[in-house]
Structure 1
């Protein structure tokens, strides 16, 4: 029986990490809405829409609106990926997002946003060089609801904060065991500021705390399994520059502390607690985006985003099934005014193919590329 539990733990180590599988900076999305995606994630200093409540709530105070704004949309993710040359059978995923902002006075702007930030799953018939050894099927979702505010302290400084209310679900299936879909809740917070030393420059900064999640618990015929998967703290700084009317350039640097939550993870089994040594490293992300208003009704965007994979060759054997290895991303975006108060936005992002091969001699290899299309509708007055 002890040997069986050992095999279960090994299988879990091979499969569980595929759950936080495919956003694009590690397991984090580049943005929430089409406007943010179009700037390749460079949106800390110059907010694009009400979804800034999820990324830098201080940006609410800088939004282009008089009293109210609504931004809603969805994304379609296509992530062709392989583990040891085996394709996953699940290739399309829906990512909803939305946010509202209300300005009761010139100083204060209230907001609330909701978005899926990571997850969905994989479906590999076989993940090992030796055929028939290990199939993996996972489903994971991570959603965040964030009520918050932005406050204009003076003409140059705005501050903001948001409460993060988190929902996470996870299911796992291998030939050795099945852990059904289960869900947990958690909390965190996001703090931010924007500062304008002059009309052409804006400096932005935001900090999202570690999202403290409840423990997953699965009741099976063999007993109870348990695990906690927190989301990492994130610190971002950005500089936005407006060299002329209608042109915006922003560059952001983001630090994602994956080592706080995905270096070692405790896994509880009926036989005791084992440790998953996933070994994820912290990730530093560089993003640059350009936005140009080509006429009174049309704005275009383009951006580039790069962050080294948090999974290195030394960690591949502990992350079979993980898809969080993309590094370079190119994005395009467009906003078109449809009426006096109604706008629509579209973005396309491509994460270039990247693969990581184990340096242990096992031959294990994980690889991924991605295509993401986002559509957004915006209403403001």
Structure 2
């Protein structure tokens, strides 16, 4: 079994503090953008309720009033990991998540809208002392493992109501991402003796397309469908003086061996996956909305292997097998109009875990492993077109467990000197959104 320290670091970079994610996360993707979507558990492809639909299903722009909305959210993930030397917690756990959406008719049956959203954090920050037994092998007495990936997406969109049943729309997804990560062993004062260090943030730009369809079967039933193409990004680039990649521990020689890199430019691509969402919205009575949705997210094509190119000794690339699987997501949301000016809603999200247990060690810095979440929300109309929306989300704790961090440590696990790796994640978010109907 081959487990690399570098794989652990890079998997952390895959955190889209970016996107990605905040709210109950499926992989590193948001379950809902803005507080209406959060309160509905993300089940909005067939139930557009505010201009954030430009991001989830642009066809929905043709079925809502002209309006604008701004959302501000506090995202609070609690994370812990065991690198083999005892469980530790991450030192960062509060992030801000803004989003903005608008919709306005432009004539000829067309509606122009757009959405902007961003998340930050969702990386991790672990610092741990190395037991004396392994200090010489790992070239130091301290482990630092951190990552930060931020992503911001702007999605200008056009929608058209073809007839009283069918609406169509498309959005251009323009993305910006910034990534940094490191995995180093060293003395507590200077972590420079060995390890992988890409801690200076690098920026990249990407583009993709979202296509949406909305079909009203009758006043009670609506169907929704969206397809998001892969979002392709320019390379992330880092200028580094040297790199050391400890690939595995040899129990016979007592040495760590692996790849080393010379001074120069290192680069990698971090694209965003294609996905499909299908939704059904039903109004049993005019005041009551029930919406369900299914999603398929193609993580395997973007995060099965993560390759870093650069002036490695003897090769020009190192591929990291993070082995993410495709994810299947179920969203449920319901809304009830208590009065004409007051709505309440609740939701539930289930997403299959894209991170295999066998690859826990390669994904410690970015767990992305929660599978179940509940949400609650409400909207109050304040008069003169203004409205206020609030939402709360809780993702239940989930833990994955795998083998040793480094190859060759299985005997040490069995002897009790080190432990198998594990990762745990719980999430909460609190948000408020102000909207105005024109």
The TM-score normalised by the length of structure 2 is 0.81
Deviation at 1:269, TM superposition (A): 2.9
Which residue does 1:71 correspond to in 2?
Answer: 69
**After TM superposition, which residue ranges in structure 1, 4 or more long, deviate above 6 angstroms?**
127-131
Which residue does 2:78 correspond to in 1?
Answer: 80
Kept after mapping to 1: 8 A contact 2:292/2:330: yes
2:13 aligned to which of 8, 15, 19 = 19
Deviation per CA, 1:190-226, whole angstroms, max 9, x where unpaired?
0000001111000000011110001111111222111
SS in 2 for 1:60: helix
SS in 2 for 1:121: coil
Alignment of 1:181-200 (within 5 A): 181-200=201-220
Structure 1 residues 119 and 20, CA gap change in structure 2 (3 angstroms): farther
* Bigger Cα Rg: 2
Structure 1 residues 127 and 167, CA gap change in structure 2 (3 angstroms): farther
2:224 aligned to which of 204, 210, 223 = 204
Deviation per CA, 1:233-271, whole angstroms, max 9, x where unpaired?
110000000010111000000101000100012111311
More displaced 10-residue stretch of structure 1: 158-167 or 352-361: 352-361
1:142 aligned to which of 151, 155, 167 = 151
Which residue does 2:435 correspond to in 1?
Answer: 378
Deviation per CA, 1:165-194, whole angstroms, max 9, x where unpaired?
000001123322432011010100000000
Structure 1 residues 15 and 126, CA gap change in structure 2 (3 angstroms): farther
The TM-score normalised by the length of structure 1 is 0.93
Distance 1:80 1:128 in 2: 23
Kept after mapping to 2: 8 A contact 1:119/1:142: no
Which residue does 1:40 correspond to in 2?
Answer: 41
Q: Determine if the alignment matches structure 1 residue 247 to structure 2 residue 288.
A: yes
SS in 1 for 2:128: coil
Which residue does 1:324 correspond to in 2?
Answer: 368
Deviation at 1:89, TM superposition (A): 0.4
Structure 1 residues 128 and 193, CA gap change in structure 2 (3 angstroms): farther
Deviation per CA, 1:129-166, whole angstroms, max 9, x where unpaired?
97956321222101110001111000000000010100
Q: Determine if the alignment matches structure 1 residue 151 to structure 2 residue 160.
A: yes
2:197 aligned to which of 173, 178, 188 = 178
Distance 1:306 1:380 in 2: 32
> What is the aligned length?
371
Distance 1:288 1:106 in 2: 35
Which runs of no fewer than 5 residues in structure 2 stay unpaired?
136-140, 185-194, 242-262, 405-409, 411-418
Kept after mapping to 2: 8 A contact 1:19/1:120: no
Distance 2:26 2:327 in 1: 8
SS in 2 for 1:255: strand
2:173 aligned to which of 164, 169, 191 = 164
More displaced 10-residue stretch of structure 1: 49-58 or 267-276: 267-276
